[in-house]
Homo-oligomer: A and B are copies of this chain.
């Protein structure tokens, strides 16, 4: 999808509910980065602050909004599962374009401009929107499916067995 003028919130709106009132203001990438570093709270306890998403919209909210968008435009005639899958693949390609030719990129994208960050936010959103609509059209309850898959992942990769290793589960010995 097209680049934008970068005047938006740049994908950096943070969930500040867990940031103490005397902590740093969270308004841009640097402040968000700062909020992930440890800081003293409660008379000396070090507690790392971690970036978090906004609680809404939920996946179901996104499904419903996208269904309304598609219905209003009479676009369900084009939105068969394989077409949606190809649309998602296209959007994944657009995310990949933003990371190509760069070399390693550190967590938090410290060298990216606001415009690049907003473009990334848009392309990641496009992937999610098509993923949600694909799941809907396939009658997969995506939020519940994720819970089942995460339970399976915990069984396949017991923390005690795989700590610090990138081996695939088929490579572990009992």
**A interface residues, Cβ below 8 angstroms from B:** 4, 8-9, 11-15, 29, 32-33, 50-60, 62-67, 69, 72-75, 77-78, 80-82, 85, 88-89, 92, 95-96, 99, 102, 104-109, 117, 120-122, 124-129, 131, 134-150, 152-154, 157, 159, 162-164, 166
Q: Contacts A73-B157, A81-B107 known; list 15 others, CB within 8 Å.
A: A9-B144, A11-B135, A11-B138, A11-B140, A13-B144, A53-B141, A55-B143, A69-B154, A73-B164, A92-B92, A109-B138, A117-B139, A128-B131, A128-B142, A129-B150
Question: Please, how many angstroms separate the alpha-carbon atoms of A65 and B171 in the complex?
Answer: 24
- Residue numbers in B under 8 Å from A154 (CB-CB): 69
Question: Please, how many angstroms separate the alpha-carbon atoms of A57 and B60 in the complex?
Answer: 10
A-B contacts, 26 of them at CB < 8 A, read A11-B140, A11-B144, A11-B145, A13-B141, A13-B144, A32-B139, A52-B60, A53-B59, A53-B142, A55-B60, A57-B143, A57-B146, A57-B147, A62-B146, A69-B150, A69-B153, A72-B159, A74-B163, A82-B105, A117-B139, A121-B142, A124-B134, A124-B145, A126-B149, A128-B128, A129-B146
Known: A11-B138, A13-B141, A125-B142. A52 touches B63 (CB 8 A): yes
Question: Please, how many angstroms separate the alpha-carbon atoms of A75 and B141 in the complex?
Answer: 28
Known: A80-B105, A81-B107. A148 touches B51 (CB 8 A): no
- Residue numbers in B under 8 Å from A127 (CB-CB): 88, 127, 131
Question: Please, how many angstroms separate the alpha-carbon atoms of A146 and B147 in the complex?
Answer: 22
